[in-house]
Structure 1
Amino acid sequence: MDRRDFLLQSGTLLAGAALAPGSLAMSGSNQAEEPQQSRMLLPINRNWRYSPSVVDGGHAVAFDDSSFDRVVIPHTNRSLPWHSFDEKSYEFISLYRRPFKLPPEAKGKRIFVDFEGVMTASTVWINGQKLGEYKGGYTPFSFELTPNINWDGSNLLAVDVDSTERPDIPPFGFEVDYLTFGGIYREVWLRVVPSTYIENIFAMPKNVLNDQRTLEVRCFLEGPASEWNRSRTLEVELLDGDRVIGKASEKVTGPAPAPGQPALQAVTLSNLGAIRLWDLQHPELYHVRVRLIEQGKLVDEDTRRFGFREAAFTDQGFSLNGKVIKLRGLDRHQTFPFVGQAMPGRVQRRDALILRQQLKCNIVRTSHYPQSRHFLDACDEIGLLVLEEIPGWQHIGDKAWQDIA
């Protein structure tokens, strides 16, 4: 799952608050809401075991990690003083372990682990089986756990975190003028979905400045070819709070998705004249809800939040919704004293409020890398424009480097 995919999944409801002790109920301060019928998003941020070095056999389920530190995510791999420290002190490979049990209602569904940010490269293991390596410290990523899950007992998630400056991974390869720190510094989730599910949603408003505006909703579907000949429908609703203000549906058509390549189907909502635009003073936000239906029964459901707006650079300057505005902004790094980048969502959101309300900015530049969804969500809510950058500093690497960036 790339950054766009994961950020667009932030509208998913949470579930799992009633799990037994020793299971996902202990995973963090995130209190889960009522479960959706089709999917669950389970936080696993508490009760991690941490070692500042990789240990032989440390990925095995039976490994004794009682000597490891118990840590909470977000976590920095090394606590640092306020200033005057050696930046090499956080450049090492560490090991994180997290046992978990799944709730009974997850049985028979597909299980993914979603990492929002790990610095810098992550090798993920489930129950002693290596799933692969993800390169990149600023973008979310996922691995499917389903084939290796123990449905009736305990499971063990292990992550080798390489926080060294590797020239094959952005922003490294030359010099950077900022510190990168290390660790699993953003939240981790287990995502439970049906065998065929809505992998992603992308809402694209069109003609927003006239009464003929429409909303194209691109739905990405993932599932086995054996289920693809079933008669299914995509139902799409545009929500203003709890009120449905637009809807449309389409039969699911086209070829079955290839593994790792979701099938795309677009549904267009029309007659959306009475829409309030997102702007700096009135950052109006809507939700789009997509349901996958088979024979009148819900297969899967997901939502996204977005706004209607038109942004363009013209000869007269930057234009928002047809009006030229003067941009006043600052750069923002996601680093903090003592803990590096490992700050929870409430602090990330607070930075957006400081920029907008205290410093009177109307735009922020995410220097020099993609930043926390909590920060970006807050910007959406308070009318703060965002200029988001790829990881880097005066250097562009080879094709593989660019693909990661």
Structure 2
Amino acid sequence: MLFRSWHSLLAALLLALSFGPSVQAQSGLIQNAAARRVLSLNGSWNYIIDPYENGFYDYRREAFDQSKSGKGGYYDNQKPSNAQEPELIEYDFDHSAALQVPGDWNSQDPKLLYYEGTIWYKRNFKLTPTAGKRYFLYFGAINYEAHIYLNGKKLGMHRGGFTPIQFEVTGKLDPSGDNFVVVKADNTRHADAVPTINTDWWNYGGITRDVFIAEAPGTFIKDYKVQLAKNDPSTLMGYVQLNGAGRAGQTVTLNIAEAGLKQTLKTDTAGRATFRFPAKKLSLWSPQNPRRYVVSLASGSDVVQDKIGFRTIQTKGQDILLNGKSTFLRGISIHDENPLIPGRARGEGDLRMLLTWAKELGCNYVRLAHYPHNEIMLRLADEMGLLVWAEVPVYWTIAWENAATYQNAEAQLSDLISMGKNRASIVVWSVGNETPLGDPRLKFMTSLVKKARSLDDTRLVAAALEVHRTPDDVMHVDDPLGEYLDLTSFNEYAGWYWGGAPSEITKYKFDIKYNKPVMISEFGGDALAGYHGDANTRWSEEYQEALYVNQLKMLGTIPGLRGMTPWILTDFRATRRQHPVYQNGFNRKGLISNTGTKKKAFYVLQEYYRQQAVKYGEK
């Protein structure tokens, strides 16, 4: 078997919801699966474009995989059995073109630039299963609806374009070692989906993150949480969960050698061992000191290691306290996209570039908008010392009264929290962005807030709210959802979408209902890099520069201002942005252009952040 370890890959992958009666229940998350013995399935996958879904439905529009035989779909990967009298087979993966995985299809084939619909992927691989071992197939993300088949048999289906997918394939691999996996990926937008039909980013389709098969013993460490107790820097707490027939009554060793901490635990009848013990020797993680410890967990023959940082985050009045000390979150918003190369960010190199730019800007904080980002990004944030706002795509208008829509949103939130629970960098779980007022929406959103708190009480919970303006030039922040959140976080676009020229926006005042830390989750305006004019020339770098200067003056009047994530680090592709001169398919609010050029506003924000770092004793 051609296995190797990926220590730089994501630390945790989540079980996502299954839908429909034909779908086999997934077997649960393996935390830190990529650090196990893995077989990479990245690389070239043959693909077939299927806008009519001929490979999924027969001519009566009945799904082949729901038929009595379960046969007939492209997932069978059929070949003619008789060269002299071949069967009628109207597809052929082996002679079809190839796409690179991970990667979206839009950026790899010009005819797929705007394509929304079904594409089939197929990959052959060699893996001879070893007796006593268990095997799990992982996809970091597939946008949006994915049906997954191994050797012609359906493993299941997943909805959600940004969370991992996992299936146990023990007993389903071919003993000969010759195997193939087929994926039906469909990025069609739906009104009852999360996100819904209308977004302001490119709807990249395909298998956009890493794919691999992980090997584990029969009984193994499936999940764990090792973190500081809520607001207590001297106490370590969490759990270890074993999976397998022999999980009850097992010994688990937790060892943090660098801190001189070692504990022996016993699992209960469900295979779970919880712990809480003093940990006074730990050096706390912060942007100034992104200290991570090698945490080793062992049970029987199974050993898992992870690099974990430890810190506390809380609010007190209008202060945000990191490790008990007041801080200002100097942030920027980021999309999961490399502006220099068309398409989704493909891996660590792309992601490290984005975070390096954020560090150069003077950031200690990033907002990963508007959906769960690649887990590699979270590990890099841990390593590089950047705090993180992590978000689910409950974006703009959702089908608030649809129970299935809520369950999908809750599943994505649960996935995100499980994926990031051991990452010191994550300090905020966000349940949505710019959602409209109304009772159904309030019920939907407060239910997500309660779910987040039930899963993790050690981090802050927020959402990007909207302001409501009155004719007296006052911006009111009074969304009833704010009552349930830890931060008063909101988006405002004075000087771009409303409010006149940049020089006029300092007239605005704020009426903020809640006595909580204020976080400006978005502000900004577009500028085409290299286009110049005066401060009133829209689309020019000078206009964006003046907008930032006056925004910072205006926001500086807010007594409880404790951070911001302006929109956005880099220009990014968005189908809504169609002006043929200034936009050409890009949202141009980036401080860095799609060619990597820093615009004039970059240096305005950089200097402001330098001053804030000095003010808060972080320089």
Q: Same fold (TM over 0.5)?
A: yes
Q: Does 1:13 align with 2:31?
A: no
Q: Does 1:248 align with 2:263?
A: yes
User: In 1, distance between residues paired with 2:152 and 2:192?
Assistant: 27
Contact 1:76 1:342 (8 Å CA) reproduced: no
Contact 2:191 2:398 (8 Å CA) reproduced: no
Aligned to 1:380: 382
User: In 2, distance between residues paired with 1:250 and 1:113?
Assistant: 29
Greater share of helix: 2
User: In 1, distance between residues paired with 2:30 and 2:133?
Assistant: 23
Q: Tell me: CA distance 1:348–1:6, structure 2 relative to 1, closer, same or farther (3 Å).
A: farther
- Percent identity over the alignment? 28
Aligned to 1:216: 237
User: In 1, distance between residues paired with 2:146 and 2:306?
Assistant: 28
Bigger shift: residues 73-82 or 375-384: 73-82
Contact 2:43 2:102 (8 Å CA) reproduced: no
Aligned to 2:530: none
Q: Does 1:93 align with 2:88?
A: no
AA aligned opposite 2:208: Y
Q: Tell me: CA distance 1:363–1:81, structure 2 relative to 1, closer, same or farther (3 Å).
A: farther
Q: 1:103-252 to 2 correspondence within 5 Å?
A: 103=128, 106-173=130-197, 175-206=198-229, 213-224=234-245, 227-228=246-247, 232-240=250-258, 245-252=260-267
User: In 1, distance between residues paired with 2:74 and 2:115?
Assistant: 21
Q: 1:70 aligns with which of 76, 98, 117?
A: 98
Number of equivalences: 352
Aligned to 2:590: none
User: In 2, distance between residues paired with 1:126 and 1:7?
Assistant: 20
Q: Which runs of 5+ in 2 are unaligned?
A: 1-12, 17-27, 56-72, 80-91, 410-619
Q: 1:302-341 to 2 correspondence within 5 Å?
A: 302-337=304-339, 339-341=342-344
Q: 1:292 aligns with which of 299, 312, 316?
A: 299
Q: CA deviation at 1:404?
A: 2.1
Q: Tell me: CA distance 1:233–1:346, structure 2 relative to 1, closer, same or farther (3 Å).
A: same
Q: CA deviation at 1:177?
A: 1.8
Contact 2:31 2:222 (8 Å CA) reproduced: no
Q: 1:51 aligns with which of 48, 52, 70?
A: 48
Bigger shift: residues 62-71 or 161-170: 62-71
Greater Rg by CA: 2
TM-score (structure 2 length as normaliser): 0.53
AA aligned opposite 2:76: A
SS of the residue aligned with 2:306? strand
AA aligned opposite 1:167: A
Q: Tell me: CA distance 1:333–1:77, structure 2 relative to 1, closer, same or farther (3 Å).
A: same
AA aligned opposite 1:375: M
AA aligned opposite 1:216: M
User: In 1, distance between residues paired with 2:95 and 2:192?
Assistant: 33
Over the aligned positions, Cα root-mean-square deviation in angstroms equals 2.7
Contact 2:266 2:273 (8 Å CA) reproduced: no
Q: CA deviation at 1:3?
A: 7.0
Q: Tell me: CA distance 1:401–1:305, structure 2 relative to 1, closer, same or farther (3 Å).
A: farther
Aligned to 1:400: 404
Contact 1:310 1:321 (8 Å CA) reproduced: yes
Contact 2:236 2:278 (8 Å CA) reproduced: no
Q: CA deviation at 1:182?
A: 0.7
User: In 2, distance between residues paired with 1:267 and 1:109?
Assistant: 28
AA aligned opposite 2:395: W
AA aligned opposite 2:100: V
AA aligned opposite 2:272: L
Q: CA deviation at 1:217?
A: 3.3
Contact 1:52 1:77 (8 Å CA) reproduced: no
Q: Tell me: CA distance 1:359–1:126, structure 2 relative to 1, closer, same or farther (3 Å).
A: same
Q: Tell me: CA distance 1:120–1:353, structure 2 relative to 1, closer, same or farther (3 Å).
A: same
User: In 1, distance between residues paired with 2:393 and 2:230?
Assistant: 32
Q: CA deviation at 1:81?
A: 9.8
Contact 2:151 2:181 (8 Å CA) reproduced: yes
Q: Does 1:354 align with 2:366?
A: no
Contact 2:336 2:344 (8 Å CA) reproduced: yes
User: In 2, distance between residues paired with 1:55 and 1:108?
Assistant: 39
Q: CA deviation at 1:80?
A: 7.1
Q: 1:26-37 to 2 correspondence within 5 Å?
A: none
Contact 1:134 1:141 (8 Å CA) reproduced: yes
Q: CA deviation at 1:156?
A: 1.0
Q: Does 1:301 align with 2:329?
A: no
Q: CA deviation at 1:395?
A: 2.6
Q: Tell me: CA distance 1:6–1:280, structure 2 relative to 1, closer, same or farther (3 Å).
A: farther
Q: What do the CA deviations read for 1:352-382 (whole angstroms, capped 9, x no partner)? A: 11101x1111111111111012221111111
Q: Which runs of 5+ in 1 are unaligned?
A: 15-39, 256-262
Q: CA deviation at 1:42?
A: 2.0
Q: What do the CA deviations read for 1:310-359 (whole angstroms, capped 9, x no partner)? A: 11122132110111111111111112356321522211121111101x11
Q: CA deviation at 1:6?
A: 6.2
Q: 1:79 aligns with which of 101, 104, 107?
A: 107
Q: CA deviation at 1:169?
A: 2.5
Contact 2:128 2:177 (8 Å CA) reproduced: no
Greater share of strand: 1
TM-score (structure 1 length as normaliser): 0.79
Contact 1:349 1:374 (8 Å CA) reproduced: no
SS of the residue aligned with 2:101? coil
User: In 1, distance between residues paired with 2:380 and 2:256?
Assistant: 21
AA aligned opposite 2:255: E
